[in-house]
Amino acid sequence: MYSINETHDIHLSSWVTSANQQGCDFGIQNLPFAIFRRKQSDEVFRGGVAIGDKIVDLKKLSEAHVLTDLAQKGAVACANSTLNEFMAMGKEAWGALRLALSKALTKGSKLESALKNCLVEQADAEYNLPCTIGDYTDFYTSIHHATSVGKLFRPDNPLLPNYKWIPIGYHGRASSIGVSGQNFHRPVSQTKAPDAEQPSVGPCKRLDHELELGIFMGSGNELGQSVPIEEAEAHIFGICLFNDWSARDIQAWEYQPLGPFLSKSFASTISPWIVTMEALAPYRAAFSHPADDPQPLAYLSSEQNSSQGAIDIDLEVLIQTQKMRENGQAPESIATSNFIHSYWTVAQLVAHHTVNGCNLRPGDLLGSGTQSGPEPGEGGSMLELSVGGKKTLTLSNGETRTFIEDGDSIFIRGWCANENAARIGFGEVVSTVLPAR
């Protein structure tokens, strides 16, 4: 795992003044990566790093030849239209470029004039997926979500017997993952009402969001070679925000015996910015299962994972209906949570995913599963917030919701903050539901 170093110094300030403002997501201690270009341009997409309200254009920076050695090689890799090559370079290269950027962006840097020529306003940028996502696995790491959902379907036995022993996951659809700003049509498929004699085909009636984090793999592993938990985080490039849209009525009819299929494959949305694991080092926390629960098997356990396997990331879900948007009303918060409640750590996900010899590749995406907390207002989905559609949420403008309606936009925001470290923000991910075709 990453240790605290000079890039985390809470006293660092940048000559990019917007990065020093209180509450800024992208201070100099963060430096997340994305793929961008200027809006309405024919420019190529290329890698960038956020600093304040600006983006460091890594293609232009690599062409300036002001960096050296591994940092320069990393910048050259980031000049591509995806981050896959940079992700494959591994932990040493990621750290070298991050350190070089930290020094170059610090107030008083001799490289200020060179980097000023490489800055683009975030307000002028549009984003693409940060990498080619070859494969996507969605996990189920929140025991609070699993219990709440399980109670709706199995009141006497909400958690299945394997949940506390094994990180549950399924192979999802990578081709329908889009970047923030994604608009998608309400899915159509087969469903069956409880009182119906046979199923029917039509638009989903129980569309739902899922508050998740996305974990991007960096350097991969060979087929047949598992990744020990002690080495797992060296293979993880970083984390983004993730909304894994779900069609609950389609899911209820199709999920037995092989799990989700069309209920999950129509759209998923990620934030453009990937926060590196190194940036998150000040927000690591102790991890454990309750003493009365089964303890992780040996391949899912290590001293490091126990002492700092958890990550303290605050999360929030907001909704903006079409009526709110037309009236100029800002998105309204409907739930908060924190990744620290996760029953499994990111290192455990990688260790379990590869224990059978499965080969993960640079750019592969792991979904954390819906991140719900223990309190009623911490449900990471409408399925929980509305108790399966039995409870109505009333918004401040008088509109009501049990599930997501056409025209609704869902926002997810995330950040790390405490008095002993600089704020690390994830930005936001937003996507909007269009009527079924």
- Which residue bears the tokens 């990578």? 174
Query: Does 13 show up as a binding residue in the annotation?
Result: no
Q: Residue 9 burial by CB count (10 A; 0-12/13-18/19+): exposed, middle or buried?
A: middle
What distance in Å separates the CA atoms of residue 123 and residue 350, rounded to the nearest whole number? 35
Q: Which of 8, 11, 144, 145 is catalytic?
A: 145
Query: Does 140 show up as a binding residue in the annotation?
Result: yes
Domain 136-434 -> CATH class: alpha beta
Query: Does 343 show up as a binding residue in the annotation?
Result: no
Query: Does 110 show up as a binding residue in the annotation?
Result: no
Please list the pLDDT of the chain residue by residue as tens digits (437 residues): 899 999 999 999 999 999 999 999 999 999 999 999 999 999 999 999 999 999 999 999 999 999 999 999 999 999 999 999 999 999 999 999 999 999 999 999 999 999 999 999 999 999 999 999 999 999 999 999 999 999 988 888 899 899 999 999 999 999 999 999 999 999 999 999 989 999 999 999 999 999 999 999 999 999 999 999 999 999 999 999 999 999 999 999 999 898 899 999 999 999 999 999 999 999 999 999 999 999 999 999 999 999 999 999 999 999 999 999 999 999 999 999 999 999 999 999 999 999 999 999 999 999 999 999 999 899 999 999 999 999 999 999 999 999 999 999 999 999 999 999 999 999 999 999 999 99
Query: Does 151 show up as a binding residue in the annotation?
Result: no
Segments making up each domain of the chain, as ranges: 6-128, 136-434
Query: Does 210 show up as a binding residue in the annotation?
Result: yes
Domain 6-128 has CATH 3.50.50.60: no
Query: Does 37 show up as a binding residue in the annotation?
Result: no
pTM of this structure: 0.97
Q: Is 145 a catalytic residue?
A: yes
